[in-house]
Amino acid sequence: MAIRNKIYFASDFHLGTGTYASSRQREDRLVRWLDMIKTDAAEVFLMGDVFDFWFEYKTVVPKGYVRFLGKLAELSDSGIKLTFFKGNHDMWMFDYFERELGATIISNELEIERNGKKFYLHHGDGLGPGDTFYKFLKRFFRSGFCQWLFARIHPNFGVGLANYWSSNSRIANEKKEDHKPGEQEWLVIFCNDLLKSHFYDYLVFGHRHKPLDIALNNKSRYINLGEWVHASSYAVFDGEDIQLHYFEK
């Protein structure tokens, strides 16, 4: 029997984006990935934008994704620890996954230490220079007032409105990501500023949709997990080092 000692990180599945058929194909691929890692995973960190839209009404959640959620339940029931990060597409997670899957929900950053290695984890939205308008929207959308207002809207209209908003996103329209080279990339700028006052071996993010492993100051590394619409990329920490991998590519 395999020893469960690895930590897996993945982000930006965007379940629900594109056609129903393409989303189902992505969900099936995710289920196969989870089936593969369940033999040696101790922890799984899903670092935001798992869903292209998510809102938990008091007694209603968006329909679909039952195969994916069922596989997560299987992992949780077998003792694998699940951690969800709120992304910019699924920031309206409350307690559903905590109650149903025993998962931990992280709203912003998380600092952990595993086997002597220090990690800084964040979805990646709203960090670094620029993007002032989104940072304002993020504060508003995450406010209790905004969430209360949205909960007053009937799901038929509210979910439809949110899906229309998501249809204009970068990944839905396959827009080329505006990555800057190396040190100019804005999450790299954020990391280098953070490392002036704190040390981390690994700073791990999603959001930017491009798998990256960049050496920073003091032997730290910036890891971007990429996405699952095209790349199907993820990272694994084996107790010694973290590496990017691709599933079924």
| Model confidence pLDDT, tens digit, residues 199-236 | 999 999 999 999 999 999 889 999 999 999 999 999 99
Please tell me the total number of residues recorded for the chain in this structure: 249
pLDDT reading at 178 higher than 70: no
Q: Grade residue 183 by pLDDT with cuts at 50, 70 and 90.
A: low
pLDDT reading at 164 higher than 90: no
Around Cβ 148, how many Cβ atoms within 10 Å?
9
Q: Grade residue 177 by pLDDT with cuts at 50, 70 and 90.
A: low
Q: What is the CATH number of domain 6-246?
A: 3.60.21.10
Q: Grade residue 45 by pLDDT with cuts at 50, 70 and 90.
A: very high
Return the domain boundaries, the chain. 6-246
Please answer whether residues 202 and 117 qualify as being in contact, where contact means their C-beta atoms are separated by less than 8 angstroms: yes
Give me the pLDDT at residue 81, please.
Answer: 98
pLDDT reading at 241 higher than 90: yes
Give me the pLDDT at residue 215, please.
Answer: 93
Please answer whether residues 159 and 16 qualify as being in contact, where contact means their C-beta atoms are separated by less than 8 angstroms: no
Mean pLDDT of the region 46-59: 90
Around Cβ 120, how many Cβ atoms within 10 Å?
22
For 149, left (φ over 0), alpha (ψ -120 to 50), or beta?
alpha
> How far is Cα 234 from Cα 213, in angstroms, rounded to an integer?
12
**Quick one: DSSP state of residue 128?**
S
> How far is Cα 178 from Cα 186, in angstroms, rounded to an integer?
10
Strand partners, 171: none
Around Cβ 212, how many Cβ atoms within 10 Å?
19
Mean pLDDT of the region 65-78: 96
* Higher-pLDDT residue of 173, 148: 148
Indicate whether this model's pTM tops 0.85: yes
pLDDT reading at 139 higher than 80: no
Give me the pLDDT at residue 218, please.
Answer: 83
Please answer whether residues 82 and 102 qualify as being in contact, where contact means their C-beta atoms are separated by less than 8 angstroms: yes
Backbone φ, ψ for residue 137 (5° rounding): -60, -40
Q: Which long-range contacts (CB under 8 A, 24 or more apart) does 164-173 make?
A: 165/53, 166/16, 166/17, 166/52, 166/53, 166/89, 167/17, 169/17, 169/52, 169/89, 170/209, 171/12, 171/14, 171/17, 171/209, 171/227, 171/229, 172/14, 172/17, 172/18, 172/52
